[in-house]
Amino acid sequence: MFKFNLDMGTIIIMLLFISFFYATVRFPLSKRNKFFGIKVQKSFESEEIWHKIHVIASLCTIPFLLIFGILIFIEDSFIQLFYGFLATIILIIIYFIIPDVSTKKYFKEKKEKEKKELEEQIKKEQGWR
């Protein structure tokens, strides 16, 4: 069952492993840019948010690296590709969920701060001191 042979399934799994390994190492080190990373509207809000999203994404990728590492040694090409495809889809879904979950508190506090500032501005305009 666990035997290393170099067929197309193994090569694809190795390429996925290398690309996700690169992302795991590179995500926490990257600055805001438009070419590499999780590029959603929320991630461009601030450098702090960008970094937080990418650190969490990097940590979430580690279990999938282990899965791909195990899949490299599975003999059956179909099983390799099926589970590799499944793991890749799940990881991409997780990458789409991370910005919403990790920035929920930040945007809630920002909205409350803006609301307070607006209320104070309205009071000033109405003559309150």
Residue 98 has pLDDT above 70, yes or no: yes
- The answer as to whether 121 is a domain residue is no
120, part of any domain: no
CA distance 79 to 22: 24
Q: Do 77 and 9 form a contact (C-beta atoms < 8 A)? A: yes
pLDDT at 1 over 70: no
User: Within a domain: residue 111?
Assistant: no
Asked if the structure places residue 85 within a domain, the reply is: yes
Name the nearest CA neighbour of 106 among 66, 48, 55: 48
- What pLDDT score does 74 carry? 86
Residue 44 inside a domain? The answer is: yes
Query: 3-state class of 101 per DSSP?
Result: helix
pLDDT for res 4? 60
What are 20-40's pLDDT values in tens digits?
Answer: 899 889 888 888 877 888 877
Residue 90: the pLDDT is 95
Is it the case that residue 102 has pLDDT exceeding 60?
A: yes
Mean of pLDDT over the chain: 85
Residue range(s) defining the domain that contains residue 47: 8-104
The total number of structural domains in the chain stands at 1
